[in-house]
Structure 1
Amino acid sequence: MLELSASQIGTWVGSFLLPLFRVAALLMTMPIIGTKLVPMRVRMYLSVAICLVLLPTLPPMPVVDALSLPTFMLIAQEILIGVMLGFVLQLFFHAFVMAGQIIATQMGLGFASMVDPANGVSVAVIGQFFLMLVTLLFLAMNGHLVVFEVLAESFVTLPVGVGLTTGHYWEVVGKLGWVLAAGLMLVLPAITALLVVNIAFGVMTRAAPQLNILSIGFPMTLVLGMMIVWIGMADILAQYQALVTEALQMLRELAGVK
């Protein structure tokens, strides 16, 4: 019969399970992999596989008592680190979703919504289009590999057993305003163009009151809005590169990676 001592269990818990909680927390909260489209069991298998690959390169882990209160505190800390890293990536993706929802509202497509299979909520069609576009760009440019690289280096810069400082928490909170700024920067040209269109319809209504602006203005705003979105796609790659560079830099700063 196999018998394990308390020190052997503590060594096994410290060397494998503690890093596994950080990896699993990131994969459960990050976009693409952490969505409802990927089954929970697949995410767990992927977490174990990544942890096994990282295990030979990780720094020495602390030996802990498997059922003690400090061990549970360490587990909570590792989960918190992984959740914070995934939360920064969620902010980046939702900047494009918010941009699409703002454009859809301005062009009259706010009522045209569909269920987002990744998050299980109803979003505007333009927002869902931007989300799929940024997902494909993120995977095509190996953004997920950069995330895994930052995750691996975070075990050196934020070792297991070293507590987080208050600055880490405030750093995550401070990034909330970045989503609004990034989303507005994406849609500012489209909003300006649609504002000019609405002003033109207002002048037409003032000049010809007998004109039924509701029957003419809505389809015209819709068509012009689609044209503005189509023209704006020419610059979407440059905007994506600027935002993803800033988001990944935020991720590296949060993990303390240089």
Structure 2
Amino acid sequence: MLELTDAQIGGWVSAFLLPLFRIGALLMVMPVFGGNLVPVRVRLYLALAITLLLSPNLPPMPEVDALNLRMMLLIAEQILIGAVLGFLLQLFFQIFVVLGQFVSMQMGLGYASMMDPAMGVSVPLLGQFLLNMATLMFLAMNGHLVVFEVLAESFITLPVGSGFLVEHYREIAGKLTWVLGAAVLIALPAVTALLVINMAFGVMARAAPQLNIFAIGFPLTLVMGMIIFWLSQADILAHFQALTVEALQLLRDFAHAR
């Protein structure tokens, strides 16, 4: 009869369960896979498959009792690491939602919003368009494979039970302001052009008060805004590539990966 000790069972459980929590937390939070478009069952199966592939190549996990308090703390640590990795990637995609909000408000299209099926919240129409375009470009550039590579390297650079969290999160917190700054820099040309158009309408309203400037200015601003937005898409790929490199580098800095 095959007899297994508690230490052997605990070692097998920790070798598979602890990586599963980190991988599952990342898949539940990160964009593309973490939205409502992907069922929770599919994400769970994907997390199990990735864990089965990675577990033979991971460093040894700490052998602890499955019902011990230390095991619960290690599980919480893995969930926190995976969630932060996914949250950093989520911030990258929110750049394009903020960009769409800036342009929409300036061109008078801020009232046009739609329900984001992935997140379940209302977002501007242009923001949803840019978000879908960013998602397709991210997948086309194999950005999701780079994220999985960083996740695999994190088990070596951030081993389970390393106790790094407080100091490391403090270092990363100062780098999160680039989200709003990047959105402002990309939206600046379009917003500036629309601001000049609105100022021209303001001068016209002062020079000829008898004109119904709202009836003339709103549709013209909307049409000019769409034209300016269309012209600004010529450089969106270059901006996306630069932001993608910066976002993935932020993930590597957090995981201390190469």
Q: TM-score, normalised by structure 2?
A: 0.97
Residues 96 and 131, structure 1, Cα contact 8 Å, conserved in 2: yes
**2:229 — aligned with what?**
229
**Amino acid of the residue matched to residue 163 of structure 1?**
G
- Give, in angstroms, the shift of residue 62 of structure 1: 1.2
- For the residue of structure 1 that corresponds to 2:197, the secondary structure is helix
> Which residue pairs with 1:168 in the alignment?
168
- Alignment correspondent of 2:19: 19
What are the residue-to-residue correspondences of 1:150-229 with 2, within 5 Å?
150-229=150-229
Distance 1:167 1:230 in 2: 44
The letter for the 1-side match of 2:174 is G
1:123 counterpart SS class: strand
Provide the C-alpha distance between the structure 1 equivalents of 2:173 and 2:95, rounded to a whole number of angstroms: 16
Work out the CA distance in 1 between the residues paired with 2:221 and 2:111: 14
Q: CA RMSD in A?
A: 1.2
- Higher mean C-alpha deviation, range 72-81 or range 175-184: 175-184
Residue 114 of structure 1 aligns to a residue whose secondary structure is: strand
Aligned length: 258
- 1:54-97, Cα deviation, whole Å (9 max, x unpaired): 11211111111100000000000000000110011001000111
**What is the rounded CA distance, in whole Å, between the counterparts of 1:9 and 1:187 in structure 2?**
56
Give the partner amino acid of 1:208: A
Measured in 2, the distance between the counterparts of 1:117 and 1:171 equals: 33
Aligned twin of 1:135 = 135
- CA deviations over 1:204-255 (Å, ceiling 9, x no partner): 1111111101001100110000001100010000000111110000000000
Residue 83 of structure 1 corresponds to: 83
The one-letter amino acid paired with 1:194 is L
Which residue identity is paired with 1:222?
A: L
Mapped partners of 2:97, 2:227: distance in 1: 19
- Measured in 2, the distance between the counterparts of 1:71 and 1:3 equals 24
1:139 and 1:171 map into 2 onto residues whose CA distance is 29
CA apart distance, 1:2: 7.7
Does the CA contact (< 8 Å) of 1:84 and 1:172 recur in 2? no
CA distance in 2 between partners of 1:171 and 1:251 (Å): 12
- Between 1:88-97 and 1:178-187, the stretch displaced more is 178-187
**Partners of 1:24 and 1:43 within 8 A in 2:** yes
- TM-score, normalised to structure 1's length? 0.97
Gapped regions of structure 1 (runs ≥ 5)? none
Runs (5+) with no aligned partner, structure 2: none
SS in 2 for 1:176: coil
1:73 equivalent in alignment to 2:76: no
1:11 and 1:166 mapped to 2: Cα distance? 27
